[in-house]
A and B are shown apart, each in its own frame.
Chain A
Amino acid sequence: MTNVMKLTINKVEHDVDVDPEMPLLWVLRDVIGLTGTKFGCGIAACGACTVHLDGEPIRSCVTPVGDVEDAVVTTIEGMGTPASLGVVQKAWVKHQVAQCGYCQSGQIMSASALLDANPEPTDVDIDDAMSGNLCRCATYPRIRAAIHEASKMLKEDA
């Protein structure tokens, strides 16, 4: 039995031969080797696995890979590199947000989706968009500051 699927991840096409029921998270991590997206809960309760599907933030741990075949997937690796940081990542560095850092890929994916949809989010907007992303180091105050910072930076860039 073969289930070869074409996935577009960070603008690169991948052919994968896996069970279509397999969550996108594990295809990314174990099959393709993109380990920036993290496993935290497996039930969409912590947001560590957040990626963009056609620009929308989704929890890849509960998204069967069969459902994303014709979609465009963006992961943290597609947001910038150490040598060339994206705007949100720059704001994260400026505010020295990360502690253990494990949840931050998911936080950044949720934050950048928020900023795409709402370039000047209020604190309430941030609460609504970000409360699905758990951080056990509780870096929330700096995440909030970094989102406001990124909003400012995006405005200046525009």
Chain B
Amino acid sequence: MAKKTKAKTAEEPKPKKKRSLTRRVFMLGSMAIAGGVAFGAYHYKKPFKNPLQDADGDITLNPYLFITAAGIKVIAPRAEMGQGVHTTLAAMVAEELDVAWDDVEVIHGPASATYYNAEVLKLGLPFADYSKSTVKDVVSGVTDVASQILRQQITGGSTSTRDGFMKMRQAGAAARLALMEAAAYEFDVPASELKTNNGEVIAPNGSRLKYQDLALDASAIKVEQNPPLKDPSDWRYLGKAMPRKDMVGKVTGTAEFGIDVKQDEMLFATVRFNPKLGGKMLSFDGSKAAAMRGVEKVVDLWDGIGVIADNTWTAFQAAQSLEIEWGDAPYPADTDGIYAEIEKAFDDEPNSVLRDDGTIEETLAAASQVIEASYRVPYLAHTAMEPMNATALLQDGQLDVWVGNQAPTVIQEQAAKAVGLSTDDVRVHTPYLGGGFGRKPEYDVAVQAAKLAKAMEGRPVKLTWTREEDVRHDFYRPAALARMKGIVSENGPSALKLDIAAPSVYRNQAKRVLGITPPGPDKLLVEGAFDQPYGIPDFQVNGYLSNVEVPVGSWRSVGNSYNSFFLESFLDELAVAKRLDPLAMRLNLMKDLDKPSFDTLRAVGDISGWGAPTGAGRGRGDGFGRGVAFCYAFGSPTAQIVDVSQTEDGVKIDKVWCAIDVGTAFDPSIIEAQVTSAILYGLSAAIYGDITFEDGEVVEGNFDEYDALRMGTTPPVEVKILQSTGHIGGVGEPGVPPSMPALANAVYDLLGKRERLLPLGKSVDFVSV
């Protein structure tokens, strides 16, 4: 089948519209780029070079693909951590390049600014996803530049397909054009008369040339960088469930994760760092460890100790034997003290008031009945199945680092700094990640491995953390508190005030990665609350920043992960107060604001049979409970309904329904898998997730103390995919936020008990395995 391209008239260069940035917009833009302008305006004008080089007979036509003897090798500039992005990004290239799916191979490729993620910085912008204001567009334009200045290659924020949609298809289409030009020369026929089919160019007389045979000539041909692209109605890969490129490797034990990296003469290491996070190392005695059979070296890493041995187990044993005196943590010593410290943030001025509709204070003051409630959620660990690890080799002034990571350019810079090399002398290799969930844009383990490699110059060192080190040295989802006030009548909520206090993920990460603390409103702190499509006449959301210094970072869905629990649980309280159907009540609030949200919520009601069989709105009768919740996050409105029941063994989750509007569904099988995964990740946190502190140290260390859903406790999940928003929505994260309040609301429906603290497992007896 020949590939068709829609005829497209060459666009005339549009005169650049002068946009007058208002002061407000400029301010927001500056905040959003986190001070990045300090790097100067030079870099963004300089075109990025192709970091790939022809090698071993493989030819590169652009930064996204090689043509090899075996077929096509696509460079996926985003990490594969289970979300299926290698498959979908490869499908984008293959779609336009016109090659057979079986001939396509995917690799991650090198760390390079060329692969910067333009979408991820937009996540920090203080706008609701559903609003389509001009202001948002203008500021989004500003961050395109800012993002290039920052030059960071990041996998996160559910942005990979949105970011890759043009780039990857254009890479495939441009390469195809060049191959056709090369064939035109060979056939002596104008390129416009040629067709392609599955990796071959076909002349009008039926002669064929393989892409492999044209690649060398094609690599010298300059083609239009914005080539015409297929009309979506002609897609044969995109929109279909494609066999995942990583599947066979992952079921045969042959897929290489970071922890599986093998190098000649490799040594094995582990580390111990202060469990009082951020505290100093006062002294240590490594003599016992150093004397153990198989131990090569005990390395003082200044704020921790590394042990290098001839196998990982010996390194673990030796690390256990270290006697270390640790300094205190810079935060309150126990959980209650930490919560009390966060609560103090409410006494300060709010950092942000990103939603302020109506006149909330006057309305509340004049009301005869105000419903009030306080909520709290704990710190959470990521607990990816693959414990943190990295392998490094320092040799001849060059450092190689192999690490499953979400931010290779950050790793490159930080590893270089750690061993005193320039960034160009560091090569970052990104194997598969055994789960990421937001833990792995952090560079801690890569820097440790680089330092160990420096201590053993010339020999590769594989550093593996114990699970306990992994759980106790995370960059946690922060604990968060909410105070809410609302007014509700038979017509629904008319006023809602949310005060939210939490440590700032945004500022913590920016400080670690960029060395700066961005000023201005922290959108991530209040996302999932201020930006929801609810038309409540008096609606205010205030964000309060806490300075508690427990390390925090991005955890699958970030601020949405707690704000959706606050908002959606409290909306349920308001519905209950006036015996309103919580689903119909929400539909009514969003009907004039956002149709995709309305349709998504209605769809989940339809597939779950909401209202039936009792007709009483929600309850399925004694012994059964049902809860609903909604969240618009990462561009995708997502609604969920959870059914629970009382069994002899405890409360059981019977089923979860989810409707999600992803805008454009590139791969329905991967989307179904991701959304299901996100829901179950959220439910695991809602039931079990609780990182607590004693004596400044995280108490939980392993899966026996920090569990998650397992086969016997996992409910069936039904996902309905909608495509109506008109943009490309995220898929990896939006399923997380509504799962927690939907479960809590179902538990209320079942037990009549409102759970305002997570995890629910502390006060509700769930079925266990």
The residues of A with any CB-CB pair to B shorter than 8 Å are: 1, 18-19, 22-23, 26, 29-31, 33-43, 45-46, 48, 75-77, 79-82, 85, 89, 92-93, 96-105, 108, 126-128, 130-144
Contacts and interface: CB of A to CB of B under 8 A. Distances in A.
B311 A35 contact: no
Given A98-B246, A101-B432, 19 more contacts: A38-B257, A39-B387, A40-B386, A45-B702, A45-B703, A81-B254, A82-B249, A99-B82, A102-B385, A131-B712, A131-B713, A134-B385, A136-B384, A136-B681, A137-B681, A138-B709, A139-B677, A141-B676, A141-B716
B251 A100 contact: no
Nearest to A91: B251
Contacts, number: 192
A104 B249 CA distance: 10
A38 B250 contact: no
| Interface pairs A-B: 8 shortest CB-CB | A36-B253, A102-B434, A100-B82, A101-B250, A138-B680, A99-B82, A76-B253, A127-B712
Q: Secondary structure of the A side of the interface?
A: loop
Given A45-B702, A101-B432, A127-B712, A22 B313 contact: yes
Nearest to A89: B251
B340 interface: no
Contacts of A97: 247, 251
A41 B387 CA distance: 8
A18 B467 CA distance: 23
Interface string B353-383: 0000000000000000000000000000001
A29 B676 CA distance: 32
B260 A144 contact: no
A40 B385 contact: yes
B708 interface: yes
Q: Which of B244, B253, B268, B316 has the most CB of A within 10 A?
A: B253
B84 to A, nearest CB: 7
Contact of A127 (B262, B437, B769): B769
B596 to A, nearest CB: 26
A138 B684 contact: yes
A138 B385 contact: no
B187 to A, nearest CB: 37
Contacts of A100: 81-82, 384-386, 432-436
A23 B250 contact: no
A31 B316 CA distance: 15
Contacts of A126: 711
Contacts of A41: 467, 702-703
A85 B467 contact: no
B311 A136 contact: no
A146 B437 CA distance: 25
Contacts of A33: 262
B251 A92 contact: yes
Contacts of B383: 136
B344 to A, nearest CB: 34
Contacts of B434: 38, 100-103
Interface in B264-317: 268, 293, 310-314, 316
Q: Which of B387, B437, B713 has the most CB of A within 10 A?
A: B387
Given A35-B260, A137-B435, A140-B714, A98 B250 contact: yes
B255 to A, nearest CB: 6
A136 B387 CA distance: 12
A143 B248 contact: no
A38 B711 contact: no
B313 A136 contact: no
B283 to A, nearest CB: 27
A40 to B, nearest CB: 6
A30 B311 contact: yes
B513 interface: no
Interface residues of B, number: 65
Contacts of A31: 311
Contacts of A18: 311
Q: Which of A82, A105, A140 has the most CB of B within 10 A?
A: A140
Contacts of B437: 136
Contacts of B708: 134, 136, 138
A100 to B, nearest CB: 3
Contact of B711 (A77, A82, A92, A133): A133
A128 B713 CA distance: 11
A140 B680 contact: yes
Contacts of A142: 673
B247 A26 contact: no
B25 interface: no
Contacts of B466: 42
Contacts of B600: none
B253 A144 contact: no
Contacts of B104: none
Contact of B268 (A30, A45, A101, A128): A30
Nearest to B471: A41
A45 to B, nearest CB: 4
Nearest to A80: B252
A24 B325 CA distance: 33
Interface in B431-479: 432-437, 464, 466-467
Given A136-B708, A137-B435, A140-B680, A39 B464 contact: yes
A77 B246 contact: no
15 contacts: A1-B293, A23-B313, A29-B312, A30-B268, A34-B253, A35-B253, A39-B312, A45-B702, A85-B252, A93-B247, A101-B82, A103-B385, A104-B250, A135-B385, A142-B673
B385 A30 contact: no
Contacts of B352: none
Contacts of B712: 127-128, 130-131
B83 interface: yes
Interface string B424-436: 0000000011111
